[in-house]
Amino acid sequence: MGHYRGYTEEDFTRLLEVLSKVKGRFLLSSYPSEVLSQYVAKHGWTSNEIEMRKSAGGGTKTKVLTMNYSSPNAQQLKLFIKCTIRFRKMHNSFLGL
């Protein structure tokens, strides 16, 4: 699933199943997948694809933001992704990954 090592489609499906039972709001940042598309259609979630520059090697990648509430505007979504990427880099650096 995307570039996450050790993260299987079964893991992703379990995550989506848990999210389908959430009573509050959620916002999931992931990559395009057929499993995700099925859950979005089944549960009436909102999904937005955003083209992002890769941090290494150049080129672009597609991120998918999925939520169970009305979609914020594109500028808010891009800011969320940038913050998420920055946090992940700091977290991985802290863990020595």
| Residue 46 pLDDT > 80 | yes
Mean pLDDT is lowest, of 11-15, 36-40, 53-57, for 53-57
In this prediction the pTM is 0.68
CB atoms within 10 A of CB 63: 21
Residue 1 pLDDT: 56
How far, rounded to the nearest angstrom, does the alpha carbon of residue 14 sit from its chain's CA centroid? 15
What is the distance between the alpha carbons of residues 69 and 26, in angstroms, rounded to a whole number?
8
Residue 71 pLDDT: 66
Torsion sign (Cα): 53, 59, 65, 70: positive
| Residue 83 pLDDT > 60 | yes
Name the percent of the chain lying above pLDDT 70.
84
Residue 81 pLDDT: 73
